[in-house]
Amino acid sequence: MKKALIIGASSGIGKELAKLLVHEGYYVAITGRRLEELEKIRQENPDRYCIRRQDVTQIEESEKVFAELAQEMETIDLIVYSSGMAEPNYDLDWNKELPTLETNVLGAVKIFGLAYNLFKKQGYGHLVGISSVAGVRGNRHVPAYFASKAFQSNYLESLWMKAKRSKASIYVTDIVPGFVDTKMALGDTFGMASLEKATRQIYSAVNRKKKKAYITRRWQVIAAMLRFVPAGWIAKM
């Protein structure tokens, strides 16, 4: 039986992906800050889930939880980082920027490194990060979030390059969602995909061990177009 660890699974994409992986035969460890929400998921299939409280912004605690799960599970085939934070910050309030950076940058890098080194030690593994189309360009309303997602994509690509030179069978996938119907989405937005559809496309991309996958696929075209839009036009949005 394959084993997966999903970090940030109490809601949204992480939660839905955990359920799909169990359906597809995985044993899944799920973590998040809201233990009561994780317990609700576990109750659906108690023999196929392991739950732990993990706050990725508490670096030492997060590393300890990761180490405990790695020891308990013995081997892990797939690790998904699905934790994310976004908050509009029109006045550049540092107290609003910091949680985003702690979750999307510092917390993410810690887990990416732990996962990569675990896979290197065991000789194989697949690391998946959930970034965002937001990382393609900047945004004057949510600067830290957009910048953090660009950081994630570049960091994951760096690890992909590192894996290509490794003797171990390590795969790295950058999942790049557009608008998905989760609590992080701001209302009914253009191109909004259902959570179920998005999750199935993510699972397909993971199975095919893709380097990068836009969710849904239309966002690959939209992202390519956005790269050529003048910054002045985007600033007016």
CB 20 within 8 A of CB 203: yes
Structural domain that includes position 213 = 3-235
Query: Can you give the CATH number for the domain in which 56 is found?
Result: 3.40.50.720
One-letter amino acid of 114: L
One-letter amino acid of 222: I
The structure's pTM equals 0.93
As for how many domains the chain has, the answer is 1
Mean pLDDT of 133-149: 94
Residue 180 is given by DSSP the state: B
Quick one: what percent of the chain has pLDDT higher than 70?
94
Per the structure block, which two tokens stand in for 88? 């509009």
One-letter amino acid of 98: L
How far apart, in whole angstroms, are the C-alpha atoms of residue 159 and residue 55? 23
Of the candidates 228, 214, 201, 229, the one whose C-alpha atom is nearest the C-alpha of residue 149 is 214
Per the structure block, which two tokens stand in for 57? 């912004």
CB 106 within 8 A of CB 98: no
Q: Return the pLDDT at 60.
A: 97
